[in-house]
A and B are shown apart, each in its own frame.
Chain A
């Protein structure tokens, strides 16, 4: 029997059964269209790389998804299970103002991303409770240039500007604009003072 491989006819000339098996194996290997497979693999790989790059560009510069956890923004955000759309264009253009809920890198640990509400922009006077729950004492500060004052809605359980002071605007990474999960609370995040 003469095997056909890619139109080439290779004659069999076995000297022993094992050599015959070996030469059959080698012939089958040679018959696999390696160049075509490599070409397809590289084009699929390139397509996947382009897709991943597109996903990165969109989620970093246009619209991302966030899963905030923790009690510091109750009742606006649940403790867990919320899925929010983050607008990445607004902070870069400076369209962030008091009342917006923003994502920012924590000034205490840059690997942590926290969600808080902006209470004051540069130049604003912010009055805040110094020791919520224990006393009614308040303090008033003026937010320095290029900084913002962020506070969690749940002042009894929030580590925010009352502890770490006003943060530079450059730490803001996104503005929470819309909640897409859970279904009962789908809608835009209210902007309130």
Chain B
């Protein structure tokens, strides 16, 4: 039989009841694996009390991290979230580098997703229409119902209801509505309001748009 030793004199009242419970559970657990009888003698030794202490420590750390995670996810879904910029389509407003730490980090708010009311010139985060796993950041320059002049062919198109026209500030390296057309507003994930890194660029993100492409010209 398996025996664990200890001294009972070390027990305080609280730990002894915990020890009794732990002993019962541990015995039952070991019984599943041992064919011979399992016996655990009074186990208020320092070693078992340490195990009890470590167990409740781990449990409270686990509880705190789950609570923190749930609250963090809720805040990030409904109010404000932090995003690191990858890609060069918004240069020079926002730049990226190869490492996430040196690229720009921005603050995006989610309150705009309540009524989907945007203004021309807002910088928005949205899911790519041809790959739902990628998130793009571009500037919204055409609201539903407005007219936009395409740069290539000079023809004027109307942005359909429930859609918007997005373009990056860095026209040469931006894959945007000039290629994939107007996007449904439902793809929008948030609106970028501030840059919070690097320190030289900290501040609000201002609204601007190419004046020569939106009527009246």
Contacts and interface: CB of A to CB of B under 8 A. Distances in A.
Contact of B186 (A50, A52, A60, A110): A110
Contact of B70 (A57, A145, A170): A57
Nearest to A108: B162
Interface stretch (B82-90, B91-99, B129-137): B129-137
B116 A110 contact: yes
Interface in B160-217: 160-163, 183-188
B132 A109 contact: no
Nearest to A54: B70
A110 B130 contact: no
A128 interface: no
Contact of A144 (B128, B130, B162, B187): B130
Given A53-B71, A54-B70, A57-B74, A107 B163 contact: yes
Residue in A61, A104, A109, A145 whose Cβ sees the most chain B Cβ within 10 Å? A109
B129 A147 contact: yes
The A interface, classified by DSSP as helix, strand, loop or mixed, is mixed
B67 interface: yes
B162 A168 contact: no
Interface string B44-73: 000000000000000000000001001101
Contacts of A172: 132
Interface residues of B, number: 25
Contacts of B132: 146, 168-170, 172
Interface string A39-54: 0000000000110111
Contacts of B127: 168, 170
B130 A168 contact: yes
A107 B70 contact: no
Given A144-B130, A170-B132, A105 B186 contact: yes
Nearest to A122: B130
A111 interface: yes
Nearest to B126: A170
A50 B71 CA distance: 7
A93 to B, nearest CB: 10
Interface of B: 67, 70-71, 73-74, 77-78, 115-116, 127-132, 160-163, 183-188
